[in-house]
Chains A and B, each alone.
Chain A
Amino acid sequence: MEKENIIDVDHLSIQFNLGNVKVNNLKEYTIRRLKHELTFQEFLALKDVDLHVKKGESWGLIGTNGSGKSTLLKTITGIMKPYKGTVKVRGKIAPMIELGAGFDQELTARENIFLNGAVLGHSKKFMEEHFDEIVEFAELQRFLNSPIKNYSSGMKARLGFAVATMVDPDILICDEVLAVGDEAFRKRCEERMQHMLSGGTTLLYVSHDIESVKQLCDHVLWLDHGEVLMSGDPDTVCDAYARRLDKVYSFRRKLEEDREQLERGDHVDYLVVGAGLFGSVFAHEAKKAGKKVAVIEKRDHIGGNIYTEKVNGIHVHKYGAHIFHTSDRKVWNYVNRYAEFNQYINAPVARYRDELYNLPFNMNTFSRMWGVVTPEEARSKIQEQISQLSITEPKNLEEQALSLVGRDVYEKLVKDYTEKQWGRDCKDLPAFIIRRLPMRFTYDNNYFNDRYQGIPIGGYTQIVEKLLAGVPTLLGTSWQEYAKAHPDSYDKLIFTGPIDEYFDYALGKLQYRTVRFETEVLETDNYQGNAVVNYTGHEVPWTRIIEHKWFEFGKDASGRDIPGTVISKEFSTEWKSGMEPYYPVNDEENGALYEKYRQLAEKEERVIFGGRLGTYKYYNMDQVVAQALELCEKELGHRVSVSSRHVNL
């Protein structure tokens, strides 16, 4: 006979908002609110979990700490509400409450039995009827009238178990409560549970003690990071779980040992400074080539400036918009090994007061600005504006720009934006900053001209995580400190930090242009309708606003719309030492200084400088990867094979 299901859990997801720091007081809340630091990291404690329990079955839930076992029980009990999916329970549930939780230490055992019974939802009459039975099972007849604070923990355990089980619930929930108490008591509890099971009670049992799970349960569900990994026969599932635990532990132990060695300053073949894209690619390839390699990183996270952080389900580009684009097939294939890229095309929009224009300057822009229709009309309009000004020798940026695009485009889309970027009037900026302002006479909003373009689904951090898997990495460790503590701990150093910093600024400091972000979490679902909007007018102080969700089309991994949004306002600020360096300044002064550092660097035989800061040059991500792969070839002597066979597995 087919028994009916007593518990039906369908596609259950539970979401927690883990604050970046747990804020539970008003003072901190206000401060963070004012500083726009109030972000929450979404965290799915359960993902799409299914569980169907028939009457009389006993299910064991296993998994490591934080795998979602207790959360699942809480949702079945009704303490937590499903975020998605449904939970249906047909029957009376008795949760076994942790020792002491349901008891008041000052009350006597007699009073506590009634209190605990009431907590479980039983009426006073019902408890009176079962009172003697409970006392008998707990073997506490002699101590009924003394406060339970005087009880031993074993006595309390007996009392708790007695109250919970004496009432023949339809479903008994038991979350790691039998760990206390002596062997005899545990035996009795297990007997009692067996007895209840044979009487038709359904059991949900959570324990780290695999043996007791095997003994008590006829089904087992294995949860891992909120997902069901396996469910079914206890022996099969428990053994698989035990094997997995072994594997995880040995991998962790190995990495832990490596890290300890790194902390001790043991010798490595390659020491990489900086866990950005350049350093990670090199470290990955060096490890694959069988070299001993380690990474130290000043920040407390890996990834350098491509680091993305998940906030409310949205991957936030912490250090500004990063859009991967390349024409290099080899580089494209390489990065596709570590992430799946979506079909994002960068088509930024410029906002000047209440007018919106497509970027880069193309027929959409011109037709919105002047109502022109054909490319011919647009060309002649621009030409007309340029010739009116008759600038032959541009003396400053303003004249340079005017002579390239004419008055209208300059005033609405170039002037204020450039001034905000540099913090100076365009008339006071040198002409060479803008060599050309690309214009297209097609209706094409794609910002980049590259063959391949996209955003890794799930953010950039995962790429670096995969690259650095198995490579010992020390976060929050500055090069100077490490070098001082462990001189000579490497054969070769791959230095991706600022080159002037390596030489202790002996020749002076290189300058950077820097940007600052103010990130805000908003409740609205759509703030600006595009990932990148440039603000080209002076009426707002920021240069752009990035709305991160649109890099992934506002969808989460399973294709559902993400509620709410996160935006980052980008401000240009004057560079001061100590700030995050972003863009090297391409002027003569800094170029000459870098050249001097480069000559110094050449004399350092055991050091290779690489990446944007190490070579003082702005690179796109694809160029960084290409550069790193080139170095691998030269240094490790092996070609990184990237055939398209590896792609799209």
Chain B
Amino acid sequence: MSTLKFRIRMFIKYKDLLAELIKRDIKLKYRRSFLGYVWSVLNPLLIMIVMTVVFSAMFKKNIENYPIYLLTGRTLFEFMKNGTQKGMKSVTQNALLMKKTYIPKYIFTVSTVTSVFIDTVFSLAAFFIVMIATRSPFYVELFYLPVILVQLYLFTLGLSFFLAELHVFFRDIEYIYHAVCTAWMYLSALFYPVESLPHLLQVLVKTVNPMYYYIAQFRDIALYGRMPGMRIVVGGWIWGIALMAFGLFMFQKNKDKFVLYL
């Protein structure tokens, strides 16, 4: 098991680098824009307002608290989207460094996804502001939220590993994945009730769309004040762990070839 030992030793050696990289990403994100952190909260708020104005009348019958319905879905989906889209480029973007010195390559993917994750946690403030503004009840079940976030973090990081590895070999994956994300968003019932989909599509979304598991859990605790059902909880864990295992496997399998293609 000397490789495992070696990996652990390497991780310990480079944990400070991981911290530095995350710190850099967060710092720069807030330093670059005029409003800094405020923007991370303002952005989802503004979009929420626009979409509520446009769509809430349309779905009035099925959705009682449209702003919260929208924000629960969007917050999670945006994290997954931003995380994977940035994570995808994490290896290629640091090519120069990787060609010059030995650094465990996963560090870059982990740091990128983690900094997006931290930003998402910060922007949850928007969610709570809206909760207060709409006078929604704060259910005790909300304490379950971190579990959902962990599930989704695993899923996003795993998918990022896979995409980052693919992006080294095929740079145009980027454009394909952007299109996939758009389709994925429309199929994730972010701003419409999932019941309004045709029956077959609805079944499909509820089973094979991983994002549905996380969004549904979040809505259960935030909107309906109940613990999520067994199926979606277990499903959320399975998707997260499976993607993590798959992504790591693919990444580790090909990592030694990276330097030849960067």
Identify the A interface with B (CB < 8 A): 16-17, 24-27, 29, 74, 77-81, 93, 95, 97-98, 100-102, 104, 106-107, 111, 114-115, 118-124, 175
For the complex, is B143 an interface residue (Cβ under 8 Å from A)? no
Give which listed residue, A79, A81, A114, contacts B20 with CB less than 8 A.
A114
Q: Would A119 and B171 count as touching, CB distance under 8 A? A: no
Assuming the A-B contacts A74-B99, A74-B259, A98-B96, are A25 and B14 also in contact, with contact meaning beta carbons closer than 8 angstroms in the complex?
A: no
Q: Would A26 and B101 count as touching, CB distance under 8 A? A: no
Q: Would A24 and B99 count as touching, CB distance under 8 A? A: no
Give which listed residue, A17, A26, A104, contacts B170 with CB less than 8 A.
A26
Closest to B98 in A: A79
Question: Size of chain B's interface in residues, with CB distance under 8 A?
Answer: 30
Contacts of A74 in B (CB 8 A): 99, 259
Closest to B260 in A: A16
Contacts of B103 in A (CB 8 A): 119, 121
Q: Would B13 and A121 count as touching, CB distance under 8 A? A: yes
Assuming the A-B contacts A79-B101, A118-B14, A120-B101, are A26 and B172 also in contact, with contact meaning beta carbons closer than 8 angstroms in the complex?
A: yes
Q: How far is the CB of A97 from chain B (nearest CB, A)?
A: 5
Contacts of B28 in A (CB 8 A): 104, 106-107
Q: Would B102 and A77 count as touching, CB distance under 8 A? A: yes
Closest to B173 in A: A26
Give which listed residue, B17, B97, B169, contacts A121 with CB less than 8 A.
B17
Cα A155 to Cα B260 with chains together (Å): 31
Contacts of A25 in B (CB 8 A): 170-172
Contacts of B97 in A (CB 8 A): 97, 101-102, 119
Contacts of B169 in A (CB 8 A): 24
Q: Would B17 and A80 count as touching, CB distance under 8 A? A: no
Assuming the A-B contacts A104-B24, A118-B20, A124-B19, are A29 and B170 also in contact, with contact meaning beta carbons closer than 8 angstroms in the complex?
A: yes
Cα A115 to Cα B14 with chains together (Å): 11
Assuming the A-B contacts A111-B24, A124-B16, are A24 and B261 also in contact, with contact meaning beta carbons closer than 8 angstroms in the complex?
A: yes
Of the listed residues B24, B173, B261, the one surrounded by the most CB atoms of chain A closer than 10 A to its CB is B24
Closest to A76 in B: B102
Identify the B interface with A (CB < 8 A): 13-14, 16-17, 19-21, 24, 27-28, 31-32, 96-103, 169-173, 176, 256, 259-261
Q: Would B16 and A101 count as touching, CB distance under 8 A? A: no
Interface SS of chain B:
helix
Q: How far is the CB of B164 from chain A (nearest CB, A)?
A: 14
Contacts of A114 in B (CB 8 A): 20
Assuming the A-B contacts A101-B96, A119-B17, are A26 and B102 also in contact, with contact meaning beta carbons closer than 8 angstroms in the complex?
A: no
Q: How far is the CB of B3 from chain A (nearest CB, A)?
A: 13
Cα A107 to Cα B32 with chains together (Å): 11
Contacts of B14 in A (CB 8 A): 118, 121
Give which listed residue, B17, B27, B32, B100, contacts A97 with CB less than 8 A.
B100
Q: How far is the CB of A404 from chain B (nearest CB, A)?
A: 56
Cα A24 to Cα B17 with chains together (Å): 29
Contacts of B259 in A (CB 8 A): 74, 79-80
Of the listed residues B17, B31, B261, the one surrounded by the most CB atoms of chain A closer than 10 A to its CB is B17
Cα A95 to Cα B99 with chains together (Å): 11
Of the listed residues B20, B170, B172, the one surrounded by the most CB atoms of chain A closer than 10 A to its CB is B20
Q: How far is the CB of A344 from chain B (nearest CB, A)?
A: 33
Contacts of A29 in B (CB 8 A): 170
Q: How far is the CB of A104 from chain B (nearest CB, A)?
A: 6
Contacts of A124 in B (CB 8 A): 16, 19-20
Contacts of B99 in A (CB 8 A): 74, 79
List 21 contacting pairs A-B, 8 Å CB cutoff, sorted by A.
A24-B169, A26-B170, A26-B176, A78-B102, A79-B99, A79-B102, A81-B256, A95-B100, A97-B100, A101-B96, A101-B97, A102-B100, A102-B101, A104-B24, A106-B28, A107-B27, A115-B24, A118-B16, A119-B17, A121-B103, A122-B16
Closest to B97 in A: A101
Cα A80 to Cα B259 with chains together (Å): 7
Q: How far is the CB of B20 from chain A (nearest CB, A)?
A: 4
Contacts of B20 in A (CB 8 A): 114-115, 118, 124
Q: How far is the CB of A523 from chain B (nearest CB, A)?
A: 15
Closest to B261 in A: A24
Q: How far is the CB of A178 from chain B (nearest CB, A)?
A: 15
Q: Would A107 and B24 count as touching, CB distance under 8 A? A: yes
Contacts of A80 in B (CB 8 A): 259
Contacts of B17 in A (CB 8 A): 115, 118-119, 121
Closest to B100 in A: A97
Closest to B17 in A: A118
Contacts of A119 in B (CB 8 A): 17, 97, 101, 103
Q: How far is the CB of A14 from chain B (nearest CB, A)?
A: 10
Cα A102 to Cα B103 with chains together (Å): 12
Q: How far is the CB of A188 from chain B (nearest CB, A)?
A: 22
Cα A120 to Cα B17 with chains together (Å): 9
Q: How far is the CB of B16 from chain A (nearest CB, A)?
A: 5
Contacts of A81 in B (CB 8 A): 256
Q: How far is the CB of A586 from chain B (nearest CB, A)?
A: 50
Q: Would A106 and B170 count as touching, CB distance under 8 A? A: no
